[in-house]
Amino acid sequence: MKTILFFSFLFMSTLPASAQRYVADSQQSKLTWTGHSEVGNYAPSGALQLQQGVFTVNGTQITQGRIDIDMRTIQHDDDKMQTHLRGEDFFNAPKFPTATFVLQQIKGNQASGLLTIKGVTKPVTFPIGVAAEGDALRIKGKATIDRTVFGIKYNSTSFFSGLGDYAIKNTFELAFDVVARRGNTASNQ
């Protein structure tokens, strides 16, 4: 049975005492997004691909981490919406192909760091959990992100009036389930 542990707990004896590097397995990791309309229950969702990720574990704690997301892979079942999300109104993936999260600290079960989307970097904090699985870590969580602080204002009632059913909430969720496998002894990233 897998036991989900929060960063504030020990990873038990499965982790070494010296700093170890863990590299995300982009094929096993999953990233999903969900947006919401302001009116009704419409909540479009889709997937993204992890470009790369690396974590440093020192003793029993993740002390460093970085995740890069390939924004050119944002997916939705509707091709028109998918193209729109990749375009200038939203993530402008041709110009800004990568979104990055750099971990700054973990306090209790809360991860804090800097998220960069469309070249804009802002602090974010969200709950996170980890499970040790042999020589791998499984890192799960869900971040609620205010798109408007990254300059994504399309159909936001904070910036436009009279949108009616076309209004989109400022926040969206980014859920992640990252599998990272033990690599070589880590040095500073």
Q: What pLDDT, in 10s, does the model give residues 34-77?
A: 999 999 899 999 999 999 999 999 877 899 999 999 999 999 99
Q: Mean pLDDT score of the chain, rounded to an integer? A: 89
Show the domains of the chain with their CATH numbers.
12-185 (2.40.128.110)
pLDDT for 17 equals: 56
Q: Say yes or no to pLDDT of 3 above 90.
A: no
Q: Say yes or no to pLDDT of 128 above 50.
A: yes
Q: What pLDDT, in 10s, does the model give residues 105-125?
A: 989 899 999 999 999 999 999
CA distance 100 to 98: 6
Q: Say yes or no to pLDDT of 9 above 60.
A: no
